[in-house]
Amino acid sequence: MMQTDFLDLFLSTEMIGYIGPLALVVAGYYLVQKDKGLGVIAFIVQSLFIAQYFELVDATPDYWWQIFILIFGMLFTVVFQLWDR
């Protein structure tokens, strides 16, 4: 059985490294559905992760997919839900 660290879910450049950003997107969607204020907190947390991934991209370009997952996931699950029309 494969044993993974928690950091592998976010910092691995393998397929397992996409689970962390996807989990953040799903958690953001869930929080926006519960309360709009929690959605703002989810937006801030996801933005901090994106900033950290941009720092990692300076070292290696392997983290672009995590950035794309978070940006598009944040756009569709948090930003569109917070806009009241």
pLDDT digits (tens, 9 = 90+) for 37-81: 888 888 899 999 999 999 999 888 888 999 999 999 888 887 777
Q: Within a domain: residue 1?
A: no
**Distances in Å between the alpha carbon of 50 and those of 26, 33, 34, 43?**
16, 22, 23, 10
Domain extent for 37: 8-82
Number of domains in the chain: 1
71 within a domain of the structure (yes/no):
yes
pTM of the predicted model as reported, rounded to 2 decimal places: 0.83
Q: Do 78 and 42 form a contact (C-beta atoms < 8 A)?
A: yes
For residue 60, being part of any structural domain is answered with: yes
Q: Is the pLDDT of residue 34 over 80?
A: yes
